C-alpha cells in the first residue's frame, strides 16, 4: 500500500547529461514494468526521489538526516560501508533537529481526507483509510518527536512507535494502532462513521500532547506552546542556517523528475496518474526553481531576492544565455492555464523543458561548490 521508496547514488563523474539520460531510462523501465505487471502500479508510483553522487553523499555541507534511515540493496558494498562509518561520526546536531521539527510541523494538522487518495491499490483499497492515517500521516511526526527527545535519528516505524508508547501520554492510541496492524487492518469497526472521525481526532489530539512534550526541548527556533503547523514552519523558514542544503534539495529531487512525469503521462489502462500529475505540477516550480534560485542569491551575493531577480543576476555571470533561456522557459510555463482535459499535455510540455533546465541547474551546482570552497557559507 506504499510506494517503493528508492534512491540512487551514482559515480562522481556523472555528468548533467548523464542525469537526463538516467531520468529518461528509469521512467521507461517503470512504464514497462507497470504494463507487464499491473499489480505493481502502486509500488512503482514514484521514481527514486533523492539522487546523489558518492562525493555528495559524504559532503558535510549536504548532510541529510534521512541518510540514517537508508538501507543498501545493490551496488558497491565497500563504498556503502565507508558511508556507514561516516554516519556513525555524525552526532545529533541542529541540522537533525531542524529536519525533525520540519517533518513534525508538516504533519501536525488534523487529517486531510483529500491529500492521500486511494489510487492504484487494487484489492487493498478497502484497507487504505487506516494505512494512510496510521502509517503515512501519524507515524512520521511521531518518529520526529521521538528523535527530538532522544537526540538521535530513530530508525524503523515500529521501533519509533514502541518508543513513543513509553515516552508520551495516551499509550492506548499506540495500542489501537498496533492492534489494527496485527489484524492486517481487518478492523471493520474503525472504518465506519462516526468512529473513523473519532480516530482522526484521537490521532491529532495525540500529536498535540506530543508537541507539548517536545516543545521545551526545541532549541533551533523559538517554539511557543501554542504554535501550530503554520507557525512552526514559518519560524523554520526564517532560519539562516542550511541555505546550501535548501539549494541542493531542489537539485537532488529534480534529477529524476523528468522521467517521473514522462511515466505519468503514458497511457497505462490500470494506472491512474491524474492526481499524481496534479500533485507534481503544484510543487515542481517551487522546489526546483523558487527554492534553488532564492537560495543561490544568498549563497552568491548574500542577498534575499526573488527567484526571478536571482535568475536575471545569474545571466552572463553564472549562466550562459542558452542556460538562462532554459531556466526562464521552465519557470514561465507554470503561469499558463490549462483545463482538466489538457493536464497530460501540459505535463508533457513541462517534462520536455526539464532536460535543458536540469543541465543549467547542475551547472549552478558546480558554481555553488566553487563558492563554498572559497568562503564559508552559513
Task: Name 224's Cβ contacts closer than 8 Å, sequence gap at least 6.
Answer: 215, 231
Q: Can you read off the three cell numbers belonging to residue 313?
A: 543576476
Residues 337, 273 share a domain = yes
Give the pLDDT band (50/70/90) at residue 5. confident
Give the pLDDT band (50/70/90) at residue 240. low
> Helices marked H in the chain — which ranges?
16-36, 54-58, 77-88, 94-107, 128-131, 139-150, 157-167, 171-182, 195-214, 229-237, 243-254, 257-265, 274-284, 292-301, 307-314, 321-333, 343-374
Residues 101, 222 share a domain = yes
pLDDT at 102: 94
Structural domain for 264, as ranges: 8-49+256-374
Residues 341, 297 share a domain = yes
Is 1 contained in some domain?
Answer: no
Model confidence at 378: pLDDT above 70? no
Kindly report the average pLDDT of the chain as a whole number: 94
Residues 212, 182 share a domain = yes
Residues 198, 98 share a domain = yes
Is 64 contained in some domain?
Answer: no
For CA atoms 35, 37, 41, 47, the dihedral sign is negative
Model confidence at 377: pLDDT above 50? no
Model confidence at 228: pLDDT above 80? yes
Cα–Cα dist 59/298, whole Å: 20
Into how many domains does the chain fold?
A: 2
Residues 286, 206 share a domain = no
pLDDT at 376: 53
**Among 210, 237, 264, residue at a domain's last position:** 237
Residues 195, 130 share a domain = yes
Model confidence at 79: pLDDT above 70? yes
Residues 329, 199 share a domain = no
- Which tens digit of pLDDT belongs to each residue from 172-213? 999 999 999 999 999 999 999 999 999 999 999 999 999 999
pLDDT at 279: 94
Model confidence at 130: pLDDT above 90? yes
Percent of the chain with pLDDT over 70: 98
More confident: 116 or 20:
20
Is 307 contained in some domain?
Answer: yes
Cα–Cα dist 88/185, whole Å: 37
Work out the average pLDDT over 120-128: 90
Length of the chain: 378
Model confidence at 67: pLDDT above 70? yes
Give the pLDDT band (50/70/90) at residue 254. very high
Model confidence at 238: pLDDT above 70? no
- Which tens digit of pLDDT belongs to each residue from 287-346? 999 999 999 999 999 999 999 999 999 998 999 999 999 999 999 999 999 999 999 999
Residues 219, 134 share a domain = yes
Amino acid at each position: 500500500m506504499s510506494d517503493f521508496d528508492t534512491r540512487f547514488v551514482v559515480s562522481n563523474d556523472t555528468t548533467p547529461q548523464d542525469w537526463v539520460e538516467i531520468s529518461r531510462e528509469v521512467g521507461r523501465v517503470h512504464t514497462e514494468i507497470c504494463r507487464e505487471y499491473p499489480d505493481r502500479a502502486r509500488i512503482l508510483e514514484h521514481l527514486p526521489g533523492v539522487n546523489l553522487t558518492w562525493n555528495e553523499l559524504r559532503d558535510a555541507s549536504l548532510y541529510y538526516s534521512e541518510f540514517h534511515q537508508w538501507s543498501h540493496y545493490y551496488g558497491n558494498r565497500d563504498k556503502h560501508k565507508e558511508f556507514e562509518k561516516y554516519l556513525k561520526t555524525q552526532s545529533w546536531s541542529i541540522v537533525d533537529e531542524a529536519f525533525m521539527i520540519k517533518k513534525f510541523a508538516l504533519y501536525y494538522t488534523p487529517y486531510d481526507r483529500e491529500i492521500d487518495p486511494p489510487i492504484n491499490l487494487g484489492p487493498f483499497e478497502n484497507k487504505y483509510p487506516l494505512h494512510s492515517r496510521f502509517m503515512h500521516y501519524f507515524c512520521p511526526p511521531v518518529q520526529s518527536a521521538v528523535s527530538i527527545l532522544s537526540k538521535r535519528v530513530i530508525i524503523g516505524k515500529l521501533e519509533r512507535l514502541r518508543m513513543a508508547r513509553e515516552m508520551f501520554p495516551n499509550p492506548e492510541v499506540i495500542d489501537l494502532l498496533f492492534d489494527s496492524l496485527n489484524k492486517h487492518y481487518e478492523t471493520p469497526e474503525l472504518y465506519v462513521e462516526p468512529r473513523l472521525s473519532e480516530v482522526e481526532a484521537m490521532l491529532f489530539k495525540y500529536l498535540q500532547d506530543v508537541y507539548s512534550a517536545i516543545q521545551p526541548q526545541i532549541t533551533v527556533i523559538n517554539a511557543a506552546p501554542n504554535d501550530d503547523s503554520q507557525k512552526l514552519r514559518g519560524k523554520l523558514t526564517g532560519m539562516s542556517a542550511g541555505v546550501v542544503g535548501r539549494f541542493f534539495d531542489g537539485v537532488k529531487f529534480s534529477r529524476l523528475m523528468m522521467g517521473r512525469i514522462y511515466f505519468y503521462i503514458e497511457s497505462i489502462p490500470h494506472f491512474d496518474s491524474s492526481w499524481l500529475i496534479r500533485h507534481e505540477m503544484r510543487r515542481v516550480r517551487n522546489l526546483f526553481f523558487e527554492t534553488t534560485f532564492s537560495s543561490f542569491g544568498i549563497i552568491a551575493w548574500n542577498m534575499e531576492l526573488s527567484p526571478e531577480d536571482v535568475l536575471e543576476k545569474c545571466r552572463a555571470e553564472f549562466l550562459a544565455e542558452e542556460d538562462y533561456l532554459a531556466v526562464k522557459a521552465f519557470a514561465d510555463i507554470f503561469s499558463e492555464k490549462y483545463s482538466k482535459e489538457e493536464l497530460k499535455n501540459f505535463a508533457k510540455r513541462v517534462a520536455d523543458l526539464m532536460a535543458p533546465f536540469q543541465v543549467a541547474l547542475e551547472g549552478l551546482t558546480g558554481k555553488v561548490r566553487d563558492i563554498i570552497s572559497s568562503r564559508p557559507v552559513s
